[in-house]
Amino acid sequence: MKVQLDHVGIAVQSLEAALAFYRDALGLQVEVSEEVTSQRVRAHFISVGTSTLELLEATANDSAIAKYIARRGPGLHHLTLRVDDLDLALETLKSKGVRMIDMAPRPGAEAARVAFIHPAAAHGVLVELKEDAEGAAKTGWSGQERSARIGIIGGSGLYDMAELSDREERTLTTPFGEPSGPYTLATLRGQRVAFLARHGRGHRLLPSDLNFRANIFGFKLLGVEAIISASAVGSLREEVKPLDLMFPDQFIDRTYARRGTFFGDGLVAHVGFAQPLCGSLRQAASQTADRLGVRAHPAGTYVCMEGPQFSTLAESHLYRSWGADIIGMTNLQEAKLAREAEICYATLALVTDYDCWHPDHDSVSVEMIIRNLTQNAATAQQVIAAIVEGYAQRAECHCGSALANAILTQPDAIPDAVRRRLAPLIEKYIS
């Protein structure tokens, strides 16, 4: 059994006061922040060499951390040891008569499998065992056992889903900053899903201001293996009418002010992107729309423009001459990052109106677009719920191994900070 120190958990009265010492005085960097509402705790993970400090602040007076501080005061709460095979570790400890709190693995922070050893067996210290990514893969640890298997990104007009039940909000801070808002973890037709409003609550974020890396990395931390992304688009084809759906299979990139990769800073990787969307997930989504009787197009080319202004007339005609079918401002970076995160990704494009090439474009009003957005959102909820209901297992595709031959940097040349930051993506390939 291979054992390494993963992190030290420290219970604190105030994260702000603790960060004044660990971050500001010592100069340590906060790598990930996470709030788990079900456990009533907020955590900051701070890198220290090859290990990590986890600062834990209670968010309710009846939480485990609050009770711990009331009983023993702030200070060392637990040690976390990383093991390569948690099931084997538990069997070994049980055979040696070690007293356990958990007799079987359970979900932990950062979508990991964990189990706790009783302090009485560890000389007064609470010890957490955490399975690394490679061990989790060997034991078949799936997203459903974590926080969610399926991610849903709601675009313009789709800021929530009425069918979501058993809701829990999860606020994450990733190594790449803040996502668009909290993730809603919920049950949708028997499946655990994570929903994120792309533009934030109240539609506060421009397409160019979206933190695409944080949004997708957050889904990875939650254990998501497939993302269905809904997005409002304009049509470049007469036959692609307002209120139609399209499941595009190709992109043309017309953006210029966005970061569309997790890599760099000493780690080089190049993923294949000839087929930028998951073919299996896209096909399943298109078939679901057909079954529901929704007018949908099974394939097409999506032009992703920078915005926030819409196209000029010359640009609109140019994109039509290229053979493009729809135009939007958001989905390309999501698709690139999902591929790097080895997450299946499909776009549900919702046509609101014709782009400016169309002779009737000038008659389009804001009221008409809002009306179409509202109707599209209702259709999107129906289609997404049916897709989720029919999702039995990860699609037969190559998305889940996209990094297998993509990393060029030698493991011993990868900077420690980058290795820690990207561990959820790369650990199984470089450990």
Residue in the block written with tokens 């729309």: 289
* pLDDT level of residue 303 (50, 70, 90 thresholds): very high
Over its C-alpha atoms, the chain yields an Rg (Å, rounded) of 23
Q: What are the tokens at 167?
A: 């809701």
**353 counts as catalytic:** yes
Pairing of strands 191-197, 150-154: parallel
Domain boundary assignment for the chain: 3-141, 143-401
* pLDDT level of residue 94 (50, 70, 90 thresholds): confident
- The pLDDT of 163-170, averaged and rounded, is 90
Amino acid at 337: L
The torsion angles phi and psi of 48, rounded to 5 degrees, stand at -135, 95
Give pLDDT, residue 237. 97
Question: Above 70 in pLDDT, residue 171?
Answer: yes
Of residues 427 and 393, the one with the higher pLDDT is 427
Give pLDDT, residue 421. 86
Enter the pTM of the model: 0.73
| Sequence-ordered list of residues with C-beta below 8 angstroms from that of 208, at least 6 positions apart, any chain | 255, 257, 258, 306, 307, 308
State the chain's mean pLDDT as an integer: 89
Q: What string of DSSP letters covers 111-140?
A: G-EEEEE-GGGTTT-EEEEEE-HHHHHHTT
**Which tens digit of pLDDT belongs to each residue from 375-388?**
888 899 999 999 99
* pLDDT level of residue 140 (50, 70, 90 thresholds): very low
| Contact in structure between 326 and 210 (CB atoms under 8 Å) | no
Helix (H) or strand (E) holding 355: none
Q: What are the tokens at 291?
A: 């079954």
- The pLDDT of 133-149, averaged and rounded, is 49
By three-state DSSP, how is residue 217 classified?
helix
| Contact in structure between 34 and 50 (CB atoms under 8 Å) | no
Active-site entry in 84, 265, 355, 416 = 355
Range in 141-145, 315-319, 336-340 the model is least confident about = 141-145
**Which tens digit of pLDDT belongs to each residue from 30-61?**
877 877 766 788 888 888 877 789 999 999 88
**Which tens digit of pLDDT belongs to each residue from 254-292?**
999 899 999 999 999 999 999 999 999 999 999 999 999
The yes/no answer on whether domain 143-401 falls in CATH 3.40.50.1580 is yes
* pLDDT level of residue 9 (50, 70, 90 thresholds): very high
**CA gap 146, 223 in Å, rounded:** 6
**Which tens digit of pLDDT belongs to each residue from 110-123?**
557 789 999 999 99
* pLDDT level of residue 162 (50, 70, 90 thresholds): confident
Give pLDDT, residue 416. 84
Angle between helices 212-221 and 331-340 (to 10 degrees): 40
Of residues 39 and 28, the one with the higher pLDDT is 28
Question: Above 90 in pLDDT, residue 73?
Answer: yes
Architecture, CATH, for domain 3-141: Roll (3.10)
**325 counts as catalytic:** no
The 10 Å Cβ neighbour count of residue 313 is: 11
Residue in the block written with tokens 């599209």: 376
Active-site entry in 85, 160, 353, 360 = 353
C-alpha 333: how far from chain center: 13
Give pLDDT, residue 107. 66
| Contact in structure between 63 and 39 (CB atoms under 8 Å) | yes
| Contact in structure between 46 and 53 (CB atoms under 8 Å) | yes
| Contact in structure between 350 and 235 (CB atoms under 8 Å) | no
Helix (H) or strand (E) holding 168: strand 165-173
The 10 Å Cβ neighbour count of residue 148 is: 26
Residue in the block written with tokens 């097409």: 300
Give pLDDT, residue 372. 84
| Contact in structure between 334 and 218 (CB atoms under 8 Å) | no
Give pLDDT, residue 108. 67
The 10 Å Cβ neighbour count of residue 56 is: 24
The torsion angles phi and psi of 275, rounded to 5 degrees, stand at -110, 95
* pLDDT level of residue 138 (50, 70, 90 thresholds): very low
Give pLDDT, residue 300. 98
